[in-house]
Structure formats: structure tokens, C-alpha cells
Chain A
Amino acid sequence: MLLEIKEVSKIYGNVWALKDVTLGVGPGEWLSIMGPSGSGKTTLLNIIGCLDKPSRGSVILDGADLSSLNSKQLTEVRRDKIGLVFQQFHLIPHLTAVENIMVAQYYHSMSDKRQALGALARVGLADRADHFPSQLSGGEQQRVCVARALINYPRLILADEPTGNLDEANEELILGLFRELHAEGHTLVVVTHDPDIGRLSDRQVSLEHGFIRCVQARSGEV
């Protein structure tokens, strides 16, 4: 397993955002986490993404037990092993597309413009490298965000509602991109409301009130 979540709970005061969640993600697997608002999807994503720590249980990513790490070590794991794709893209508005990708390289190790341009070409945006986010469509911005997530060769790509802010045409483009990444062997964990994404993934996990309600494999097995 690349990612093992064992009996993870997250408690805020008297509220259980997650309760005894146990889950595993294998290398190259595409897992979709689905569920209504308030079901604990984002909390789970934050814990997997080293942005939060569980109140109970353990999370093991690529052999490292995240629950025993301090915030500095969590930052290192996030930087080295995780690529993040956001619903709102979160590109830095005063930097060009290629510079936005170079920022991720800068915090990881060293900026390399040629490599960053290669990542943009990989998502079909070679000719938009010097455009600012405001000059790009939503779909293009999300593709830049995907290129940024891929630039440091992460072990795991975490996506939070990656098509939530896109129209149908751009949603298709991004889903095509995710399919390609999956086919190339990338491990994807995607939080989504979108049943199309759920169907494309290897497994869907449905959360409700912090519990796993059901796990459904692509074959339809529950």
C-alpha cells in the first residue's frame, strides 16, 4: 500500500468530523472520495495531505507514519511526496503560468524553467507559458494547477473538487488529463461530488457524517 489510513478519527470539541476511518490506496490506484457537504471529505484530504493531524489513528504514506511527525516534517512530506490540485486553482495572480510552476520547484529544490515548460507542454499549454492567470480560461488555469502538482514527481496526487469550477468542455479536458495520469501509473486521490469522476476511478469511497458509508470498485463490487 502506498497510503494506509488506520482507524483515523478527527474530533473538534464534541464533533466527530471523522470516526474510525480505515482505508488503503495502492500504488497507481485512483480513489475517489465522495459524499455530501460536511461528510468529512475535506478533513480526510487535509490529513492525507499533511495539512492536518488526526486526533486518533495513524496514516502511513509511503512507509512514513504521518501521525508521529511534527509540522516541519509534515511540510517536508507534503513537499516531496504530494501534488495538490485545488478546486479554485490557486495560481499566484502576478506570476505567469510557467513561473507558477517554478514556484513549486523553488520550494521543493531548484527552479528549472525548461522542465517547467515541459510540464506545461504535458498539459497542452506550451503556448500559454507567459500568460498570467487572468489571461487564461478556468480549464487552462486548472491545467496549470495540474502541471504544478506534477512538477516534483509526487508519489500521490491529491485533488479537491478539480472540476468543481469548470464548465462541461473544460471538465472533459481535465478528466482526460486525469485518465492519462492514471494510465501512466500515477496514484490519485480525488475528492469530488462529480459522479463521472467517481465512475472513472478504480474505487469510490462514500463518506457520511465522518463514517465510510460504502466502498465501490469500478466493477460495481460493494
Chain B
Amino acid sequence: MSRYWMLALMLTASLTRRKSRVAIAFAAIVIGATITSGLVNVYYDIGQKMSRELRTYGANLVLTPSSPEQQPYVRLDDISSVAARVDDVRLVGYVPYLFGIAELQPAQAEGDFSYLYRVARGHKRELVVVGTRFDQIEKVSPYWKITGGTAATIGQEKDSALVGEIVATRLNIAPGDRLTLTAVDSARTIEVLVGGILTTGSDEDTQIFVDLDLAGDLLGKQRVASVAYFSVVGGLRDLESLANDLMTEFPDITASPITRISKSEGQVLDKIMSLVFLAVALILLLTLLCVAITMSNVAIERRREIGLKKALGARDRAIMLEFLAESSALGLAGGLLGWALGLPFAQAVGQSIFQSAVSIRPEVLPLVLFLSGFLAALASFLPARAAARVDPATILKGE
């Protein structure tokens, strides 16, 4: 029988056949490993989760034409290519806007048009028409408040329109009304059915939103957009890097992160991650102390056994090796159990804070095993040294 086999037999017997204080150390390791496993899983996922959470504040990356004087629009093909270029996991949504000026036909021309169209053209019935993709609105601008339906249901009808609250109030427009819009530049006309009234508290309240293709027909601008807003998971640095890459790959566009959102997102993430790191460090420190105290008691408890082994010829090094091997094995077993228990713990944290599941990272297992094994061995080092110094003569004195 090899020496390692006998060592393994002695360790297994020690851990499984005797009731010992070691159980307390094991419990401490399991608790430490559970919390570490749970929090590290959350830690790995928290960036994505928090970023997705913060996406409710709206888009954080905007695409505009790189040379507006020569080419004032971004091609829809380029926008689609950019969307395909952004990793599926990171892309929350994107929405193109095509802006134009249209004139409301006489039936609805009775109201107050002042300030609705801020670029003075000297015509009273002009207002801003925006072509968009209604099915993307909820993803990119989840804070939009719409009465009369959702953006997605309104978008199901090709000729539906979403009217800004100020326009609706000034011109007495309500869901179900039909509007006739004539492009100022081309005199093309479209007829739309008001599907809902939009409130954002911003410029959108003074605009009319219609399907992008319909707006293209009205304005004579097919398959282009004035601007595209992207909602992408990631901090400011990620977005800056992405924007640079996109501008290299698509020379016709300028990609700019909306820094006021991305920057604060990064700061919040940094703070939360520091907190998680601190919590894990404290838990591990407490585990270390608990294991060290318990193993010191175990060393005292086993003085006779250690004395016997030394009387039988065990060297100090062999006694230390046994002690450290036992505590490392305890650490690894506790780490494995703690890692497993940490998975539901991570899910509980994910559900209570982010209302969503935390994805399980396989790389957390070796990390938790290493930390538990290393900490257990470290905590047992001084007790092991004390154990190795037991005087074997005590065994003959009947102590």
C-alpha cells in the first residue's frame, strides 16, 4: 500500500469516523464558501444585471451621420449592421428616427400651433413628424407613457400614429382620430389613425410618431433615418470602445455614448462591486479566525494521539503534513458543499434585488475551492506547528 494511500485512509477515517470539533470548522467553511460562492456569482453577473436595470433610463449610444453636410441621413442597412455587430447579450434594443416637417390638413388646423414646430418656417400648421419602429420603443424608451395602447400594439397597424401630449391638447386630437399630413418639402400626403397619446415630458410631446416606412413615403426618404438610438448593456468605457470600433467599421456614421447615463451607471457599479468585495473579504476573514480557533482546540484535543504517532516514529513534518492535509481536505469538501449551496443563495439575491435569475459561472467553483482549501490550510498552520511540537514522552507518562 502506497504511503499516500495510507495517509488518505487515515484522513478519511479521521474525518468520517470520529465526532470532533472539526465539524465546527467544517460548518464555518461551508458558510463562508456559501456566501462567497453566492456573492461571487452575483458579482460576475451584477455588471450585466445592473446595466440592464439601468437601461430603463433610455438609450446610451446614438448614431448620427458622420458628414451631415454631404449625407444628412444614416442608412437603415448600416443601422441593422451595427445592431448585428453588437453582441446579442448586450443589445437591449435600437430605434431609428427619421425627422421631417409636415403640414396638418385643414380638418385639424384649428388649434394653436405655436411652439409645436420650433424651426420657424412661417407656416402656422407645420409640425414635426417622426418615423420610427414602434416595436422597438418599449426596449429603448421604456419610460414613455402612452395612453390608448402600447407602442407595440399601435405599431401593428401600418398607418397608426402616436401623438405627443402637447400636440394632442393644443389640437384636440384623441385616439381614433384620422389625420392627414402633407410633407412641406415634397407635398406628398399620408393619412394616419391616431393610436395613442404620448407623454415623455420632453420634445416627443410636441411631435407625431408614425411608422418609419410611412414617414419615408411622406418625406421621400426611403430606407434612411436621421438618427438611431441604441440601448446597450455596458459601462462608459465599454461604450466608448464599442463606439470607436463602430466608427472604424462604418465610416459613414458617428457613434457617441450618452455619457450622463453611462458614467453614473459605471459609478454605481463600482460602488456595488466594492461592497461585494468587502463583504466577501470580511466573511473569509471570519471563516479564517473560526477555523484557526477550532483547529487550535483540535490540536490540544489530539495531544495523546499525536504523542503516540511521534512515539511510533512520526517526524514533526509528517504530523504537520497530516494536520494540514486534513484541514485542506476539510476546506475542499466544505468549499464544494458551500459552492453548491451558494447557487440557490445567488438566485435568491438575484431575485430579491434584480427580479431575475443570476447566471451560474463555472469559474466560480475552482475559485471557491481554492479559497476554502487555502484558507483552511492557512488557518491550521499555527495549530499544526503546535501539534508537531507535542512531546512524545507524554504518552509514557500516562497523560
Where the two chains meet, the residues of A that have a C-beta atom closer than 8 Å to any C-beta of B are 42, 45-46, 49, 51-52, 72, 75-76, 78-80, 84, 86-88, 90, 92-95, 99, 102-108, 110-113, 148, 160
Asked if B398 and A113 make an inter-chain contact with CB atoms under 8 angstroms apart, the answer reads no
Binds A, one of B1-9, B52-60, B118-126, B329-337: B1-9
Asked if B392 and A106 make an inter-chain contact with CB atoms under 8 angstroms apart, the answer reads no
Asked if A111 meets B1 with Cβ closer than 8 Å, knowing A90-B308, A103-B309, A103-B312, the reply is yes
- Which one of B315, B396, B398 has the highest number of Cβ atoms from chain A below 10 Å of its Cβ? B396
Asked if B393 and A46 make an inter-chain contact with CB atoms under 8 angstroms apart, the answer reads yes
In the complex, what residues of B have CB within 8 A of residue A87's CB? 398
**A148 and B6 alpha carbons, distance in the complex (Å):** 16
* Closest residue on chain B to residue A149 by CB atoms: B312
**A88 and B397 alpha carbons, distance in the complex (Å):** 10
CB of A174, distance to nearest CB on chain B (Å): 18
A-B contact pairs, 21 of them (CB 8 A): A49-B311, A49-B396, A51-B311, A52-B393, A75-B310, A75-B315, A86-B396, A90-B304, A90-B395, A94-B13, A94-B14, A99-B10, A103-B10, A103-B312, A104-B313, A106-B3, A106-B6, A107-B314, A110-B2, A113-B1, A148-B312
**A107 and B310 alpha carbons, distance in the complex (Å):** 9
Where the two chains meet, the residues of B that have a C-beta atom closer than 8 Å to any C-beta of A are 1-3, 5-7, 9-10, 13-14, 17-18, 304-305, 308-315, 318, 391-393, 395-398
The answer, among A72, A105, A107, A160, for a CB contact under 8 Å with B396, is: A160
The answer, among B5, B315, B397, for a CB contact under 8 Å with A72, is: B315
**A96 and B263 alpha carbons, distance in the complex (Å):** 66
In the complex, what residues of B have CB within 8 A of residue A49's CB? 311, 396
Asked if B313 and A95 make an inter-chain contact with CB atoms under 8 angstroms apart, the answer reads no
**A83 and B5 alpha carbons, distance in the complex (Å):** 24
**A72 and B318 alpha carbons, distance in the complex (Å):** 12
CB of B136, distance to nearest CB on chain A (Å): 68
* Closest residue on chain A to residue B14 by CB atoms: A94
CB of A68, distance to nearest CB on chain B (Å): 19
Asked if B1 and A78 make an inter-chain contact with CB atoms under 8 angstroms apart, the answer reads no
**A135 and B7 alpha carbons, distance in the complex (Å):** 24
**A95 and B322 alpha carbons, distance in the complex (Å):** 15
* Closest residue on chain B to residue A74 by CB atoms: B392
Asked if B395 and A86 make an inter-chain contact with CB atoms under 8 angstroms apart, the answer reads yes
CB of A51, distance to nearest CB on chain B (Å): 4
Asked if B396 and A51 make an inter-chain contact with CB atoms under 8 angstroms apart, the answer reads yes
In the complex, what residues of B have CB within 8 A of residue A90's CB? 304, 308, 311, 395
**A contacts with B: majority SS:** helix
Q: Which 5 A-B pairs have the closest CB atoms?
A: A79-B313, A94-B17, A51-B393, A94-B18, A111-B6
**A110 and B313 alpha carbons, distance in the complex (Å):** 13
In the complex, what residues of B have CB within 8 A of residue A79's CB? 312-313
**A72 and B319 alpha carbons, distance in the complex (Å):** 13
CB of B56, distance to nearest CB on chain A (Å): 59
The answer, among B18, B318, B392, for a CB contact under 8 Å with A51, is: B392
The answer, among A42, A84, A110, A113, for a CB contact under 8 Å with B311, is: A84
In the complex, what residues of B have CB within 8 A of residue A42's CB? 396-397
In the complex, what residues of B have CB within 8 A of residue A51's CB? 311, 391-393, 396
In the complex, what residues of A have CB within 8 A of residue B310's CB? 75
**A87 and B308 alpha carbons, distance in the complex (Å):** 13
The answer, among B305, B311, B315, for a CB contact under 8 Å with A92, is: B305
Asked if A95 and B396 make an inter-chain contact with CB atoms under 8 angstroms apart, the answer reads no
CB of A73, distance to nearest CB on chain B (Å): 11
Asked if B396 and A102 make an inter-chain contact with CB atoms under 8 angstroms apart, the answer reads no
In the complex, what residues of A have CB within 8 A of residue B309's CB? 103, 107
**A51 and B313 alpha carbons, distance in the complex (Å):** 10
In the complex, what residues of B have CB within 8 A of residue A99's CB? 9-10, 13
In the complex, what residues of B have CB within 8 A of residue A80's CB? 313
* Closest residue on chain B to residue A91 by CB atoms: B308
In the complex, what residues of A have CB within 8 A of residue B315's CB? 72, 75
**A110 and B5 alpha carbons, distance in the complex (Å):** 10
The answer, among A46, A88, A95, A107, for a CB contact under 8 Å with B312, is: A107
* Closest residue on chain A to residue B315 by CB atoms: A75
Asked if A78 meets B313 with Cβ closer than 8 Å, knowing A51-B396, A103-B10, the reply is yes
Asked if B1 and A84 make an inter-chain contact with CB atoms under 8 angstroms apart, the answer reads no
Asked if A104 and B312 make an inter-chain contact with CB atoms under 8 angstroms apart, the answer reads yes
* Closest residue on chain B to residue A77 by CB atoms: B313
In the complex, what residues of B have CB within 8 A of residue A93's CB? 18
In the complex, what residues of A have CB within 8 A of residue B17's CB? 94-95
Asked if A110 and B398 make an inter-chain contact with CB atoms under 8 angstroms apart, the answer reads no
In the complex, what residues of B have CB within 8 A of residue A46's CB? 393, 396
**A219 and B203 alpha carbons, distance in the complex (Å):** 123
The answer, among B7, B13, B311, B392, for a CB contact under 8 Å with A95, is: B13
